[in-house]
Structure 1
């Protein structure tokens, strides 16, 4: 079947705030001019609005992170209906459980399976191996690829590496006033962008500020993102008496503008903005 005849289902746990969800949006943008159809299924989130703006149909499914036999049967039924209704030929999943469900359905519907692996894991070895076996795997980095090969015993020829991209096209929202004020006061800004969960290691980032304080360096930390550990991280910042040194900006939709503003503190580093 030719590329322009393919009907692609992008299967993600959510379309909320996160790197995997951003990748799904990028893939939609890239594929739309080249394939017959792109649809997305997930448990929903703030980025569903962006799918609607791109005229990409979104199907709501149960949260595949919450596992039970009843939920599993319900999810398989919904996915089967989507595949039949949209005449799906390719399923591109972005979560281990998404890969599992896709594998279950492949034999019945004869679809091509692709799975992008966004993280390194050291658990659920047998389940992951079964879900990934004989599937086209994309690792978002070399460590992820090594993890797939060394821990999950995936054949090297089955895994390709495609690094996540950053869209550097600026949306004209203007500078963040708080960051601009810190710049004017002579502070150097160190940013950390990511979901506020244990996996991202934000607590280590926060604790490192203790050493910065000891050296009396004129540095402020900027944390961009949101997540289930936000309150816990705010409490940690308070307990370490670092509230004046660490700024939580929360979820920011115009990341390129934040990057561009932080970039302004490097005057002769040779960093240049590039179009994707």
Structure 2
């Protein structure tokens, strides 16, 4: 098969981690092409030997931008003899549907978020294409809120990369571990809907009672400067460390004892899966998608959004009960192996690709 993956950009994020995973799993037996407006992960594509084409910002709805992307994608499809366009962005999928009218190429969309608005636009963009959702919650929203045909929607749980050639770990994290601290991390973009300020508030409450716990946030984003100010205002610099983006999160998680995820909206977040693959339990907000990864008291705990006290209580419970922590660790790895391993991820995508090509 000749597959064209398209996204708005090749930024550091869960959607592109999924694209890269598919590239690695499928490139030996298929031709894989990428199209986006570019980004920091282009070097990863180069290392994989994957050709990348540039398109304009698919979020830009100016007619000349849309027409430019249509022309570019039509040319790519013809020049590369593409069988399937697999889009990972709603507006990119809408553009791909137009390209399909000119070329006959088949279109698949992956829905990475549990959307909360723009249901009519979603229906326009995704109607009459095969859809992959990363969680059952995302599937229900597309079916019930956007009125999309359930027969065209399949849930495939995400998987993660568990090996990384880059073994370099942030010296601050190593130093904290060497000093014997219990390390709690959040891995996310530094953006408001990831609950980053709640993460700081949780840390503030926890360290009031326990000086042996430290917090690290792995990630970058538009709120980083404001978050640093927030930490400084609360005089928490010696308790909370912003480590920035890392292209080898797995290696950093090997120094972490517990993962938090304070998000307000997700699809099926990758950070808990990365943690589970290393036997690390997770305390996270009880939101759609995330609550399909965590079984309360089995591989972690769910608390309500903005429930700072709830997070603190569960952290203290786990920290003080080593037997509980050991059991949560064991179950975390077990659930990863059973539900989120890469073999299932690869085989289910291949199955959908073959199915859609047979429909011609």
Partner of 1:163: 157
For the Cα contact (< 8 Å) 1:137–1:159, is it kept in 2? yes
2:6 paired with 1:11: yes
Secondary structure of the residue aligned to 1:152 is coil
Secondary structure of the residue aligned to 1:39 is strand
Partner of 2:219: 225
- Pick from 228, 233, 239: which aligns with 1:234? 228
CA–CA distance in structure 2, aligned partners of residues 110 and 77 of structure 1: 14
- Pairs within 5 Å for 1:238-253: 238-253=232-247
- Pick from 13, 35, 49: which aligns with 2:43? 49
Moved more, 199-208 or 47-56: 199-208
Secondary structure of the residue aligned to 2:29 is coil
Secondary structure of the residue aligned to 2:256 is helix
Moved more, 193-202 or 115-124: 193-202
For the Cα contact (< 8 Å) 2:17–2:160, is it kept in 1? no
Aligned CA-pair RMSD = 2.3
2:180 paired with 1:176: no
Give the structure-2-normalised TM-score. Answer: 0.69
2:248 paired with 1:254: yes
Secondary structure of the residue aligned to 1:262 is coil
2:112 paired with 1:118: yes
* Structure 1 runs not aligned, ≥5 long: 1-5
More helix by share: 2
Secondary structure of the residue aligned to 2:206 is helix
Q: Mark the CA change 1:124 to 1:172 in structure 2 (over 3 Å): closer, same or farther.
A: closer
Give the structure-1-normalised TM-score. Answer: 0.89
For the Cα contact (< 8 Å) 2:60–2:66, is it kept in 1? no
For the Cα contact (< 8 Å) 1:187–1:219, is it kept in 2? yes
- Pick from 11, 19, 23: which aligns with 1:24? 19
CA–CA distance in structure 1, aligned partners of residues 34 and 218 of structure 2: 26
CA–CA distance in structure 2, aligned partners of residues 130 and 265 of structure 1: 41
How far off its partner does 1:97 sit?
0.8
How many residues are matched? Answer: 270
Secondary structure of the residue aligned to 2:242 is strand
Q: Displaced runs of 4+ in structure 1, greater than 4 A?
A: 263-267, 271-276
For the Cα contact (< 8 Å) 2:34–2:50, is it kept in 1? yes
* Structure 2 runs not aligned, ≥5 long: 258-277, 281-324, 343-360
Moved more, 249-258 or 117-126: 117-126
User: In the TM superposition, what whole-angstrom CA distance separates every residue of 1:39-97 from its partner, at most 9, and x where no partner exists?
Assistant: 00001112111111111110011121233222222222211221221121200000111
For the Cα contact (< 8 Å) 2:74–2:102, is it kept in 1? no
CA–CA distance in structure 2, aligned partners of residues 203 and 97 of structure 1: 30
Secondary structure of the residue aligned to 1:261 is coil
Q: Mark the CA change 1:38 to 1:244 in structure 2 (over 3 Å): closer, same or farther.
A: same
Partner of 1:60: 54
Moved more, 140-149 or 91-100: 140-149
For the Cα contact (< 8 Å) 1:194–1:224, is it kept in 2? yes
- Pick from 20, 33, 41: which aligns with 1:39? 33
Q: Mark the CA change 1:236 to 1:109 in structure 2 (over 3 Å): closer, same or farther.
A: same
- Pairs within 5 Å for 1:112-151: 112-151=106-145
CA–CA distance in structure 2, aligned partners of residues 138 and 59 of structure 1: 24
User: In the TM superposition, what whole-angstrom CA distance separates every residue of 1:99-120 from its partner, at most 9, and x where no partner exists?
Assistant: 1111122222111111111112
